Structure 1
Amino acid sequence: MYLKVSAKILLSSVLIVIVYLTIALTWASLSVEYLLTEEAIANEESILTIKQNDILLKIKDPTFYEHAGLDLSQGQGLTTITSSLARDIFLFRVKLPGIKGSFQSFYRGVFNCCKKIDLGRDMMALILNKNLTKELQLQLYVSSSYMGSYDGRQIRGLPAAAETYFNKPLAELSDDEFIALVAMLKAPNYFHPEKGAKHLESRIYKIKKILAGTCKPDGWFDTEYKHCTSGA
C-alpha cells in the first residue's frame, strides 16, 4: 500500500513538472519575438578582444558555441551565458502586457523563490538560443550584465565597468584587469573592487590558476574553485 501511494505521488510530481515546463516553453516561444524587439542589439561585432573572449568563455561558459543553451561542463554549474541572459530578458528587463505579463510575473516569482532548482529558466534559454545567434547573445551579455554599484548607481556591462573601476576602455584593460571583471560576474557586489577587495583578490587568484591549467574545477558544479589555493 505504501509503495502504491509513493508511486502515485512520484507520478503526480513528474506530471506536474512536465506540465510546468511545457507551459514555460510555450510562453517563452510566444514572448521571445516581442522581448527581443525591445533589446538594443546593434550588430554581431564582438565588444571583446580575441584574448578577452577566450578568458571569459573559459571561465563562464566553456562550450558556449557548442551547446543549445544548456550545459553541464566541468566547472560550469547550472548556469550558461545563454541562461543568464534568458533570465534577464524574459523575466526582468521588459514588462510583458496582458496574459503574457501574468505568466511573466508568475515565472519571476518562481525564480526569485527557487532559483537553484527552477527549470523554467532552462526552457527560456532553449528558446533564446533558437532565436538569437551566439554572437548576439555574447554581445548582449557583455554589454548588459550587472557589474555592481558605484556611487549609488548600477553599473551595467563590462565596457561601463572598465571605465568605472579602471578609468580606461575595455579593449585597453590588462589581462589582470579584465580577469577582475570576469571574477566580479559571479557576485558583483561581493567581489567588488572596493567593497569586497579581499574576496575579489582571492577569486582572481583562483581564476588565474584555472586559466593557466594548474588547477581544474572539482566536478560539474564547482564554480567556487575553493581547492585552487596556493597548495593546490
Structure 2
Amino acid sequence: MRRKLIYFLALICGALGIYEACAVVIAYNKLSHQFAPYASVKLKDLGLNERRQEILIKIQDPTFFEHAGIEWPNPLTTTTITQSLVKKLFFDKFTKGFKKIEQTLIASFVVNPNISKEVQLVTFVSTAYFGEKDGKQLFGFNQGARSWFNKSLSELNDDEYLSLLAMLPGPNILKPNTVASRERVRRIKLVLNGECIYDHVSQIFLEQCSAR
C-alpha cells in the first residue's frame, strides 16, 4: 500500500513538472509579441525622469537591478516587478497556488534572461494597475496621473507622484487623498530620507516604518 502511494505521488509530481515545463515553453514563444509594444520606448518618453525612476525602483522593487526576476528567499510569497509583468502579460486569469509557481518560473527563466531591465521598467510603467475610477479600470502611470490628478505624469509634483506610486500594492485601497494613502506616502518619505530601512520587496507594505 505504501509503495503504491509513493508511486502515485511520483506520478502526480511528474505530471505537474511536465505541466509547468510546458507553461514555460508557451510563455517563451509569446515573449517577443508580448513585449514588442514597449521595446523601443524610453522611460523619459513616458514622462519619468531619472530621479523618479530611482524612486520607483527603491519603493516597488529595491533589488530590481540585482535579482534574476525573483527575490530569494521568498519567491513564491513576494512579487517583483518582473513577476508583476508576467502576471499581466501571460495570464488571462491569475490565481495563487500552481499559477504562482508558473509565474515565478516564467519570470526567472523566460522574461529576465531575455528582456532587458529597461524594457521591463518601460513595460511596468505602461501597464501598472491604478485601480478603478468612474467604472473604468486604469492602467499605466500616465493614465493613473490623468485620472487621479488631471495631469500628465511629468506634470505631477513630488507629493502627487508619491501618491501615485503609493497605490501600487493595493490600488483600490490606497487611492489618493485617503487616510491610507497619506499614511503610505509618509512611510515612503521615511524610506527615501533614510529614516527607515527597506531592502527587500517582501517588506513592500513598509510595516517596519509604521511606528516612526
TM interval, shorter chain, is 0.7 to 0.9
Counterpart residue number, 1:96: none
CA contact (8 A) 2:63 2:199 kept: no
Residue number among 171, 185, 188 corresponding to 1:188 in the alignment: 171
How big is each residue's C-alpha offset from its partner over 1:47-73, in whole Å with a ceiling of 9 and x where there is no partner? 311111111101111122222211238
Counterpart residue number, 1:118: 100
Counterpart residue number, 1:222: 203
Counterpart residue number, 1:31: 30
Residue 130 (structure 2) pairs with residue 151 (structure 1): no
CA contact (8 A) 1:87 1:124 kept: no
How big is each residue's C-alpha offset from its partner over 1:70-122, in whole Å with a ceiling of 9 and x where there is no partner? 12389xx6211111111111113xxxxxxxxxxxxxxx4xx32x259721011
- Tell me, what secondary structure is at the counterpart of 2:144? helix
Counterpart residue number, 2:20: 21
CA contact (8 A) 1:149 1:189 kept: yes
Shift of residue 33, structure 1, vs aligned partner: 2.9
Mean Cα deviation higher: 204-213 or 12-21: 12-21
How big is each residue's C-alpha offset from its partner over 1:177-229, in whole Å with a ceiling of 9 and x where there is no partner? 111111101111111125xx111111111122222221224977222222312
Shift of residue 167, structure 1, vs aligned partner: 2.4
Residue 160 (structure 2) pairs with residue 170 (structure 1): no
CA contact (8 A) 1:65 1:134 kept: yes
Compared with structure 1, are the counterparts of its residues 220 and 59 closer, same or farther at alpha carbon in structure 2 (3 Å cutoff)?
closer
CA contact (8 A) 1:73 1:220 kept: no
Letter in 2 for 1:192: K
Letter in 1 for 2:183: S
Rounded Cα–Cα distance in structure 2 between residues aligned with 1:161 and 1:18 = 39
Residue 114 (structure 2) pairs with residue 131 (structure 1): yes
Shift of residue 137, structure 1, vs aligned partner: 1.2
- Tell me, what secondary structure is at the counterpart of 1:84? helix
Rounded Cα–Cα distance in structure 2 between residues aligned with 1:153 and 1:57 = 27
Shift of residue 45, structure 1, vs aligned partner: 4.3
Rounded Cα–Cα distance in structure 1 between residues aligned with 2:158 and 2:203 = 23
Mean Cα deviation higher: 131-140 or 115-124: 115-124
Counterpart residue number, 1:100: none
Structure 2 alignment gaps of length 5 or more:
none
Compared with structure 1, are the counterparts of its residues 45 and 222 closer, same or farther at alpha carbon in structure 2 (3 Å cutoff)?
closer
Residue 24 (structure 2) pairs with residue 43 (structure 1): no
Counterpart residue number, 1:67: 67
Structure 1 alignment gaps of length 5 or more:
93-107
Letter in 1 for 2:21: T
- Tell me, what secondary structure is at the counterpart of 1:119? helix
Rounded Cα–Cα distance in structure 2 between residues aligned with 1:139 and 1:213 = 27
TM-score, normalization: structure 1? 0.75
- Calculate percent identity across the aligned residue pairs: 32
Shift of residue 23, structure 1, vs aligned partner: 2.1
Size of the aligned set, in residue pairs, is: 207
Shift of residue 17, structure 1, vs aligned partner: 4.6
